[in-house]
Structure 1
């Protein structure tokens, strides 16, 4: 069982000058505690679920690059990048750079985007849902092509790349894992089966059903369901959750078929040490289907 930490809030006592030291401390503690992954959101405004829009929010890949420089083992990703935020060629270069400089520790977390408030606020194009999914699929195709070293022109409905050169290539081979976030049964989970190395599905009563839908898509695509890493984003209640609470959550999700549990740290919590303690108690937990 793999355990990850997502840090979605950068509201720390002491103001902006404390963001770097506090985020850095948490990243180091997660790394030294043996956690598998560290995640930040790829948002420009804080999201309503966490706090008001004007709360401090860091640009995701800059934050991960900082974390890469002060950690040694932990893998690093966004949970998740909205496809409309960056041109696909630039996104592939950005994730490749993170992977090279971190020694092969990057993820590409991606989804169809949903936060129209920040897009309107910053003047980022936010097309209708159907078009965002078209752009997501083209981006996934471009990503696979660039990471395969294929420089032939790409011409899609929304993107044209005359020479999708990617030099250097990622350190991690064959490429950084592609994680698609979301639970849409007709498109998102089909894209997971067709293009991705991992999915992310929220911890909810629907999780077993969503995994069954993914399994069905894998059968139709001729994909081995076991090849896909099933991750789930969850949270713990209370200002100071215990390791026992984390272990209970991990065990419950493992029984549902999750391979990698990612805990989202709510404002006021400090989870890295708690999750490191829980990790020592979960080494023998094997997800269903593994």
Structure 2
């Protein structure tokens, strides 16, 4: 099993003046601790469960560029980008640039989005969910077109929601054939079918429903003539080791429970991550015990 770090809470000690220094310490420590990737929440307002609109929420891809300069090994991406935030070509260009600047470590994390309040507050259109699913599929299709060959597939793209006259993409991504694509969500009829059709990884919610969701994904893979084992099975979680590491053993058991249900990579937020110590505890007492499972 591999662990990924999700950064989704940013009310750190010292305020914005110390943010860059703390963030650099967080990501370099996470890389040294053995995390496989670092993913950043893609919101413009902080989510209600993490403090709501009045809490700090920096822009995702600006942060990821900063992370690319501060790390050397870990994968980098959004957890995840709602399709309503950016035109697909702009999103693909952002991920491509991140891939180039990071030496081939970018991920495309994408989903339909769900936080309507932030979009209404900032004047960003928020289409109906049915339309956002259509936009999600077209976004992934455009990404694969733009990452084709050395320049992208330059034939026009004609979709229901997007039209590209020339999907040129230069510089091209370093990761070939393309940066890995993770589609978030565990809806059985639409989302998991899109995962089977296009994605390199899924992102599920933790819980006893995971085996059922993975069986649904397996059936979709059979219908799409896709190798189920090609898709990395991930889920989100919370890596709470306590103030002094007293919960590290409990976390190890939770991760083993997820592994036993078929999860390969767990992407977790770490309470008090700006204190750095929790990351060091995970690196010393958790990752060595779950690596290779």
TM-score norm. by structure 1 comes to 0.95
Q: Does the alignment pair 1:283 with 2:291?
A: yes
Among 218, 227, 230, the residue aligned to 1:227: 230
Alignment correspondent of 1:147 = 147
**Deviation (angstroms), 1:41:** 0.3
Q: Distance in 1 between matches of 2:250 and 2:37?
A: 19
Distance 1:209 1:235 in 2: 22
How far residue 58 of structure 1 moved from its aligned partner, in angstroms, is 0.8
Check if 1:244 corresponds to 2:249: yes
Tell me, in whole angstroms, the C-alpha distance in 1 between the residues paired with 2:88 and 2:291: 38
| Deviation by residue 1:56-83 (Cα, 9 ceiling, x = unmatched) | 0010111111011011101111110000
1:1-290 mapped onto 2 (5 Å cutoff): 1-148=1-148, 149-237=152-240, 239-240=242-243, 241=245, 242-266=247-271, 270=276, 271-277=278-284, 278-285=286-293
CA deviations on 1:23-82 (whole Å, 9 max, x unpaired) are: 111100011122101011000111111112110001011111101101110111111000
So what's the TM-score if we normalise by structure 2? 0.94
List structure 1 runs of 4+ shifted beyond 6 angstroms.
none
Q: Check conservation: 2:97, 2:173, Cα contact below 8 A.
A: yes
Extract unaligned runs of 5+ from structure 1: 286-290
Secondary structure, in 3 states, of the residue corresponding to 1:76? strand
- How far apart are 1:262 and its partner, in Å? 1.1
Aligned length: 285
SS of the residue 1:280 aligns to:
helix
Quote the Cα distance in structure 1 between the aligned partners of 2:23 and 2:257. Answer: 29
Structure 2 residues without counterparts, runs of 5 or longer: none
Cα deviation per residue 1:88-137 (whole Å; 9 max; x = unaligned)?
00100000000000000110000001110110011111000100001001
Asked if the contact 2:205/2:235 (under 8 Å) is kept, the reply is yes
Stretch moving more, 128-137 or 234-243 = 234-243
| SS of residue matched to 1:212 | helix
Contact 2:240 2:248 in 1 (8 A): no
> How far apart, CA to CA, are the structure 1 residues paired with 2:12 and 2:189?
40
**What is the aligned-residue RMSD (CA, Å)?**
1.4
CA distance in 2, matches of 1:14, 1:174: 42
How far, CA to CA, are the matches of 1:176 and 1:249 in structure 2? 30
Could you say what secondary structure the match of 1:263 adopts?
A: strand
Shift of 1:244: 2.0
Task: Answer yes or no: is the 8 Å Cα contact 2:241–2:282 preserved in 1.
Answer: no
How far apart, in 1, do the equivalents of 2:233 and 2:4 lie? Answer: 13
- The CA distance in 1 between the partners of 2:99 and 2:240, in whole Å, is 33
